[in-house]
Chain A
Amino acid sequence: MFCSEKKSLEVERIVKANDREYNEKFQYADNRIHTSKYSILTFLPINLFEQFQKVANAYFLFLLLLQLIPEISSLTWFTTIVPLVLVITMTAVKDATDDYFRHKSDNQVNNRLSEVLLDSKLQNEKWMNVKVGDIIKLENNQFVAADLLLLSSSEPHGLCYIETAELDGETNLKVRHALSVTSELGADFSRLAKFDGIVVCEAPNNKLDKFTGVLSWKDSKHSLNNENIILRGCILRNTSWCFGMVIFAGPDTKLMQNSGKTKFKRTSIDRLMNTLVLWIFGFLVCLGIILAIGNSIWENQVGDQFRTFLFWNEGKKNSLFSGFLTFWSYIIILNTVVPISLYVSMEVIRLGHSYFINWDRKMYYSGKSTPAEARTTTLNEELGQIEYVFSDKTGTLTQNIMTFKKCSINGKIYGEVRDDMGQKTDITKKNEPVDFSVNPQADRTFQFFDHRLMESVKLGDSKVYEFLRLLALCHTVMSEENSAGQLIYQVQSPDEGALVTAARNFGFIFKSRTPETITVEELGTLVTYQLLAFLDFNNIRKRMSVIVRNPEGQIKLYSKGADTILFEKLHPSNEDLLTLTTDHLSEFAGEGLRTLAIAYRDLDDKYFKEWHQMLEDANALMDERDERIAGLYEEIERDLMLLGATAVEDKLQEGVIETITSLSLANIKIWVLTGDKQETAINIGYACNMLTDDMNDVFIIAGNTAVEVREELRKAKENLFGQNRSSSNGHVVFEKQQLELDSVVEETITGDYALVINGHSLAHALESDVKNDLLELACMCKTVVCCRVTPLQKAQVVELVKNCRNAVTLAIGDGANDVSMIKSAHIGVGISGQEGLQAVLASDYSFAQFRYLQRLLLVHGRWSYFRMCKFLCYFFYKNFAFTLVHFWFGFFCGFSAQTVYDQWFITLFNIVYTSLPVLAMGIFDQPLTGRGSTSNISQWDFLKRICQCSSWDPIQQVQGHPTSRKGNLVCPLSSCLCCFFFGCFCSTPGPPVSSVDVSDQSSMDYPQLYEPGQLNLLFNKRKFFICMAHGIYTSLALFFIPYGAFHNVAGEDGQHIADYQSFAVTMATSLVIVVSVQIALDTSYWTVINHVFIWGSVATYFSILFTMHSNGIFGMFPNQFPFVGNARHSLTQKCIWLVILLTTVASVVPVVVLRFLKMDLCPTLSDRIRQRQKAQKKARPLRSRRPQTRRSSSRRSGYAFAHQEGYGELITSGKNMRAKNPPLTSGLEKTLYNSTSWIENFCKKTTDTVSSFSQDKTVKL
């Protein structure tokens, strides 16, 4: 208690290095993390408490308590307690296992070792024992244990490199540096141990990119910022060791602060069920009251006289009290409307569906041998109701591999594959890639399909040479040679890696660099260029240049950058080439490639010297330095000669485009939430076809202040809604009208819009007063891209949509930065097979490739939803039919709470007699779906469709009207009609339908089939009432037909058959037969299992019935089985069978007929047909839909350069270049130049990954 109070009060944090006692005063959290929910002691109470919070469980507990009271117990107590205990135990075991694994993963993390400097010695200490203020040592490729203040590192100037993929999803390496005062400490333990600086900094928070603090040491103060901090979750790269002081530990770290809370997830059906259980309970209470009043009246009017007749004076009761008791008795009797077996069956069905997901070979990724995994088994049917998908970009949509795809050199495009006719074709297996085997240094994984470029190189085209030379010179890549003599490039931006590797394969091999030189092997000869100046990249310049002197003494400026910027700097003589290249660039950009323009300039010696002098002067300046330098850079980067352009592909994962296309056809909105740059994000948007040039507008919200953001949002909205909205705002409009208007506006918006918003703006836009605007705007847009968002913002966006739109959301991601989003969405999907596990651990479903999402949602999700809804409809129907008979009987038995059936029948009905067929349906059923051609639909399907009006969806969507959703809502019957129509087409019986591969394929082919789930059409309150009405009707038929028939009737031999027991047997038998016929009609996919279960259930019923009514069992337990001989006697009577038959016909036929006639009621038949025609036209080409590259307009990627500022300086200063013989402290030497240097570690990692370009790929964890 004290601790948490303390935490909330923490305003600033004071940490003293190497002084645990001092730091203990503040009671900072230690480095242990807890993600688990229970401990051994708290498990039982907390878990039980949680479980009984479920309405259903509480309901059953209440019933159980009622049954324990002998005065009102009309059913034996074990009918409730056994299943209840079973359910509770099952859930508890599941929760316990889940928590056990959480404990295990916590333990695993908590027990990781890190080296802590204690008593001037490095000691291995478990992570959980690391305290704030400790100094710990990290080695290359280690996870950072806590949020650290970097003190010193192996690299010069206290630099270290970290990968922050876990935190923000960005994969390029980032540089952190120690303060110069502390970096002097080096690896000297004694000095480090004496370090007693005090850090005063902000309290723990979740801002990943901000840190402010002050270090006081040796009487001086040094300000600290984010550059000095390495955060937990990062991985140390390219740095053999570093020392850091723990500032935030455990739950206070920014990583943990960013991970959302674990929530108990429930499906919307669960929530609906909760409501329904309450309603049903209300319904029960009503029935109970009616019957109790009846009982009181009866007791008053008849009971008294009746009692005197029996000399029953001692048992005299107050009629009101008797009514009261009767009420409770009836509550118990009628409780089976919601039987506990419903919940058990739901769990079983979901479990079955989860197994189907695990078993699906089509979701198995052989590349990483990862099958799909349903990690939770309670959410399956919600997969069929997804409206919003929130996707991470890096690692989810993209493979995070950059490939050099195309280039334009001197007005000539390379990289396109043309067939013999000179037409562009797609790259197929037939095309031979360019053979780079002549070049021993070539990267094997690099593939290029256009042989002309190689030919040009061989022919000695000088422009091509210059182009490749530029690629080999103008970059920030570092090279190393591994033990095998292979060149390894260490890149901080994968784009650059792609370019340098391309140059390498075409014979311009970047070999090594020093601060002053760059060595390139040009077609076999080593050439060393003098690096004269490095004009670094920044966000404003959007370009970088190098100035080099080649061995001939010529000075050249090589520049690459965003085309828009670079083209302004060109020499006028480039005009022709410029237009040509511009066309090419548009073409590249149209294909979603990341483009760069490339240019050079020859400089004369004198001019350069003057310029260089001025640069040095400027550097020496104290004020206005940056402006001056920028001016100088501008000055020299002009009159450039255009060389061409490059196009790099940010390789999408396989099938991403198809998946996104089909998901959007399924009316699922996909939002991309990425920590990456705006440009990259937009680029990927185009690459995935999420953004297209056909879009009417793409709104970009990139304001930095709340006011700006608001203004931008307002403008976008105005743009979107046009005059429609603004005119209405002029008048006083009631809120309600306004709302109506909004919905009208929503309807009337045509055309596609997209919204791009960045993290800063999002922070403002998520504030309460603006967020509705944002939401409204975003939901109008077809595509939403949020870039530069923090993990917490991702979760906030998900929450926003989840709460305000009331929509079912799914979040998919692969990294730790997606965890919070995965946790807060209704369904979280983790991309598995990557190295990091956090996302998968937090997820509900996991698989290896984004494209499996399509199958997960459209097949598994849709089926699960379909099955679950059918199951629920049937179950409610069945139990209403079963239970309400008691209500009718109440009027004929003096409201005495006598049960109609045998107690055994009541106990077994839901568990044994009727559970398996409906389970089989719930697990194996498959929606019948059109196969595209009508002639294949057999007449049986037609009958089935009639019988399953409740689940008409498939055809409705195919033959219906995917565009107008309202239409479906208004007249769901239309679909029925369509179905019927559909069925009538094929009066000729088709061949036996072998359903293999039909249903799931059509689910994929017609994504529109998904819509009923989103609209909640298959099971909702209305459907529930229909089921209820159906059940009530059946119960009426079940009761009153036997009642009428039994009234004053004798058996064949004159003996009485109208006794209570015969009546019970007749009713029970009719009930079992009626519900079996009904399930037979409801089952659309009759597998062997269905056959066995349906026939088997009926058979089981009769065998159990005869067994329980046999002499033998009566002899053993005379009190438990009083129905001896009943089945034998009753079921040999013709009359009873006639009653059963009539009951069955009367309960089933009207339902079939009603469903049939419903179809007749649809008004606009011709409309439907026309729409169907349209829909078919629309739906047909879908099958063969391929990613299209027809775009030709002028959209251009502004600057697709995942690049960071500051590397140029590092290179020219030589800071990041390891000296050949670094002055090392003896203790560390071994570890450093051990065989396990970072390069090798790095290689190890990369060889594991399958795809090309491994050397240049930054490993994402």
Chain B
Amino acid sequence: MKRTSEDGQSKLPDNTALKQQQLPAYRLQLSATGVLSCFFATGVFCLGMGIILILSAKSIKEIEIKYTKICGNCAKLREDATNFDKECTCSIPFYLSETMQVKGEREEIQAYTFLFTVSSCIQDVGNCAPFSKSHDGTPIAPCGAIANSIFNDTIILSYKLNSSIPIKVPMLRSGITWWTDKYVKFQNPSSINLSSAFAGTTKPPCWAKPVYELDGEDPGNNGFLNDDFIVWMRTAAFPTFKKLYRRLNRIQYFIEGLPAGNYSFNITYNFPVTRFKGEKSVVLSTLTWSGGSSLFLGLVYTVTGAVTWLASFSMMAVHLTLKDRKVLFIQQ
């Protein structure tokens, strides 16, 4: 008999809070007014943020020049692929009316996002189809459709200080890439001479120069570590995108930004867009605390804030109505 009672003891489930589903549960203490004020606070925050964002977006000074049509001749020339080694430049003069604190300067083209991700390794051609190997079987470096379609226009901004002499606006080509892209993700093959490192590979079909000769001025800016290449390889999320081209170097006349006056863009037109009805533009823009924010975010914040407020008011209305009903109810 004793044994069975012991057995019984062992069969009796433990009296722990977990097993008896009685874990202490925490519940925050919020009053109805608390809830409503939370809503109001959210609304205020969103409205405030929206207004700030809108104001800062408005404060951005931006000049956008769509140059596909302006450089129509070049565009036409580029439509025929066989002419890719013919140089074509066009100059676009414009007037900058007031002082801009230009930190950077970007060009914008219309293009598509691509399916293929970058392969940083020369020999790995697995993901690069159909641009992995040239017709004779030598591997393409860098491979893939994205690399093949690199943006290869050169844009030079010049400032006409006087009526005649144009000054080339000094531009920085450094600092336009992410640190990680430049120092971690992209690496040149370890070899003393780049050209020998890339021996046995061929350039992508659209490219005018092989990858190790991209920048004639700065030997360190060649191979996979070329800044323009890295920028291009950071694939955009959407078909319409802006990419940073150069930053303004604040020296000489340009310490305070770009002074008002006559400017012109001299563009070496290489990148063909008309065949797929694309458009290219070049944008001069200032930045704000939140980057080059667009109006969209500010507007949506404002709308959300307004809606939240509306909702709070209606909730309060319900609350008050029901309070009245409660009195009624008690009277009954």
Interface set of A (CB-CB < 8 Å, partner B): 302, 305-306, 308-312, 314-315, 355-356, 358-361, 364, 366, 369-371, 892-894, 896, 898, 924, 926, 938-944, 946, 980-981, 983-985, 987, 989, 992-997, 1000, 1041, 1043-1064, 1085-1089, 1091, 1111, 1114-1115, 1118-1119, 1122, 1124-1126, 1128-1129, 1133-1135, 1138-1139, 1142, 1145-1146, 1149-1150, 1153, 1156-1157, 1159-1160, 1165, 1169
Contact yes or no, A1049 B292, CB < 8 A: yes
Contact yes or no, B206 A311, CB < 8 A: yes
Contact yes or no, A306 B294, CB < 8 A: no
B163: Cβ under 8 A from any A Cβ = no
Contact yes or no, B180 A1128, CB < 8 A: yes
Determine how close the nearest CB of chain B comes to the CB of A274; give it in whole angstroms: 30
Contact yes or no, A997 B308, CB < 8 A: no
Determine how close the nearest CB of chain B comes to the CB of A835; give it in whole angstroms: 15
B130: Cβ under 8 A from any A Cβ = yes
Quick one: closest A residue to B299, CB to CB? A1044
Contact yes or no, A1059 B237, CB < 8 A: yes
Known contacts A987-B31, A1058-B236; A1145 and B308 CB within 8 A of each other: yes
Contact yes or no, B29 A1138, CB < 8 A: no
B22: Cβ under 8 A from any A Cβ = yes
Question: Quick one: which of B33, B184, B273 contacts A1124, CB cutoff 8 A?
Answer: B184
Contact yes or no, A1122 B118, CB < 8 A: yes
Contact yes or no, B236 A1060, CB < 8 A: yes
21 interchain pairs (CB within 8 A)? A305-B275, A312-B130, A312-B131, A360-B21, A364-B13, A369-B7, A371-B11, A896-B115, A938-B29, A1044-B294, A1044-B296, A1046-B238, A1047-B240, A1052-B291, A1053-B291, A1055-B177, A1056-B243, A1086-B25, A1125-B178, A1125-B179, A1125-B184
Q: Which of A314, A361, A1055 has the most CB of B within 10 A?
A: A1055
At the interface with chain A, which of B192-200, B216-224, B255-263, B316-324?
Answer: B316-324
Whole-angstrom CA separation of A470 from B326 in the bound complex: 69
Contact yes or no, A1055 B244, CB < 8 A: yes
Whole-angstrom CA separation of A1135 from B179 in the bound complex: 19
Contact yes or no, A1048 B29, CB < 8 A: no
Q: A1045-B297, A1049-B292, A1060-B113 known; 13 other A-B pairs, CB under 8 Å? A: A311-B148, A315-B129, A361-B13, A366-B12, A894-B239, A984-B322, A1052-B290, A1053-B287, A1054-B287, A1055-B175, A1119-B119, A1125-B180, A1150-B307
B215: Cβ under 8 A from any A Cβ = no
Contact yes or no, A369 B11, CB < 8 A: yes
Contact yes or no, A1085 B25, CB < 8 A: yes
Question: Quick one: which of B30, B120, B235, B292 contacts A943, CB cutoff 8 A?
Answer: B30
Contact yes or no, A1086 B106, CB < 8 A: no
B300: Cβ under 8 A from any A Cβ = yes
B205: Cβ under 8 A from any A Cβ = yes
Whole-angstrom CA separation of A1171 from B272 in the bound complex: 75
Whole-angstrom CA separation of A452 from B252 in the bound complex: 123
Contact yes or no, A1059 B234, CB < 8 A: yes
Contact yes or no, B20 A359, CB < 8 A: yes
Contact yes or no, A1044 B297, CB < 8 A: yes
Quick one: closest B residue to A984, CB to CB? B322
Interface residues of B in 287-321 (CB under 8 A from A): 287, 289-294, 296-297, 300-301, 304, 307-308, 311, 314-315, 318-319
Contact partners of B213 in chain A: CB under 8 A: none
Quick one: closest B residue to A924, CB to CB? B23
Contact partners of B27 in chain A: CB under 8 A: 938, 940-941, 944, 992-993, 995, 1086
Contact yes or no, B276 A939, CB < 8 A: no
Interface set of B (CB-CB < 8 Å, partner A): 4-5, 7-9, 11-15, 17, 19-35, 39, 42, 46, 49, 53, 81, 103-104, 106, 108, 112-113, 115, 117-121, 124, 129-131, 145, 148-149, 175-181, 184-185, 205-206, 231, 234-244, 247, 272-273, 275-277, 285, 287, 289-294, 296-297, 300-301, 304, 307-308, 311, 314-315, 318-319, 322-323, 325-326, 329
Determine how close the nearest CB of chain B comes to the CB of A1175; give it in whole angstroms: 14
Whole-angstrom CA separation of A94 from B234 in the bound complex: 49
Contact yes or no, A1122 B117, CB < 8 A: yes
Quick one: closest A residue to B53, CB to CB? A1138
Whole-angstrom CA separation of A361 from B15 in the bound complex: 7
Contact partners of A1119 in chain B: CB under 8 A: 119, 124
Contact partners of A993 in chain B: CB under 8 A: 27
Contact yes or no, B148 A310, CB < 8 A: yes
Contact partners of A360 in chain B: CB under 8 A: 13, 20-21
Contact partners of B294 in chain A: CB under 8 A: 1044-1045, 1047-1049
CB-CB nearest 10 A-B residue pairs: A1125-B180, A369-B8, A1054-B104, A1050-B292, A359-B19, A1063-B237, A1153-B311, A1044-B296, A1087-B23, A315-B130
Whole-angstrom CA separation of A983 from B30 in the bound complex: 11
Known contacts A1087-B23, A1125-B185; A1056 and B13 CB within 8 A of each other: no
Contact yes or no, B32 A898, CB < 8 A: no
Known contacts A369-B12, A1046-B238, A1054-B103; A985 and B308 CB within 8 A of each other: no
Contact partners of B247 in chain A: CB under 8 A: 1054
Question: Quick one: which of B273, B296, B319 contacts A984, CB cutoff 8 A?
Answer: B319
Whole-angstrom CA separation of A1150 from B176 in the bound complex: 40
Contact yes or no, A1050 B104, CB < 8 A: yes
Whole-angstrom CA separation of A359 from B22 in the bound complex: 12
Contact yes or no, B291 A1051, CB < 8 A: yes
Contact yes or no, B12 A371, CB < 8 A: yes
State the main secondary structure of chain B at its contact with A: mixed
Known contacts A1058-B242, A1138-B49; A1169 and B234 CB within 8 A of each other: no
Contact yes or no, B291 A1000, CB < 8 A: no
Quick one: closest B residue to A1059, CB to CB? B234
Whole-angstrom CA separation of A310 from B81 in the bound complex: 10
Contact yes or no, B24 A1129, CB < 8 A: no
Contact yes or no, A1091 B296, CB < 8 A: no
Contact partners of A1046 in chain B: CB under 8 A: 237-238
Whole-angstrom CA separation of A514 from B112 in the bound complex: 109
Question: Quick one: which of A941, A1086, A1114 contacts B26, CB cutoff 8 A?
Answer: A1086
Contact yes or no, A1060 B180, CB < 8 A: no
Question: Quick one: which of A1052, A1086, A1128, A1149 contacts B287, CB cutoff 8 A?
Answer: A1052
Determine how close the nearest CB of chain B comes to the CB of A244; give it in whole angstroms: 36
Contact yes or no, A1118 B206, CB < 8 A: no
Q: Which of B145, B237, B290, B314 has the most CB of A within 10 A?
A: B237
Known contacts A359-B20, A984-B319, A1060-B235; A1050 and B106 CB within 8 A of each other: yes
Determine how close the nearest CB of chain B comes to the CB of A957; give it in whole angstroms: 20
Contact partners of A1054 in chain B: CB under 8 A: 103-104, 106, 176, 244, 247, 287, 291-292
Contact partners of A364 in chain B: CB under 8 A: 11-13
Question: Quick one: which of A983, A1085, A1133 contacts B32, CB cutoff 8 A?
Answer: A983
Contact partners of A940 in chain B: CB under 8 A: 27-30
Contact yes or no, B238 A1041, CB < 8 A: no
Whole-angstrom CA separation of A1124 from B273 in the bound complex: 31
Quick one: closest A residue to B235, CB to CB? A1060
Contact partners of A370 in chain B: CB under 8 A: 11
Question: Quick one: which of A1124, A1139, A1165 contacts B180, CB cutoff 8 A?
Answer: A1124
Quick one: closest B residue to A311, CB to CB? B205
Contact yes or no, A1059 B291, CB < 8 A: no
Contact partners of B39 in chain A: CB under 8 A: 1149
Contact partners of B292 in chain A: CB under 8 A: 1049-1051, 1054
Contact yes or no, B231 A1052, CB < 8 A: no
Contact partners of B240 in chain A: CB under 8 A: 1047-1048
Contact yes or no, A305 B300, CB < 8 A: no
Contact yes or no, A1052 B289, CB < 8 A: yes
Contact yes or no, B130 A996, CB < 8 A: no
Contact yes or no, A1058 B238, CB < 8 A: yes
Contact yes or no, A894 B244, CB < 8 A: no
Quick one: closest B residue to A1139, CB to CB? B297
Contact yes or no, A1050 B237, CB < 8 A: no
Contact partners of B42 in chain A: CB under 8 A: 1145, 1149
Determine how close the nearest CB of chain B comes to the CB of A1003; give it in whole angstroms: 11
Quick one: closest A residue to B46, CB to CB? A1145
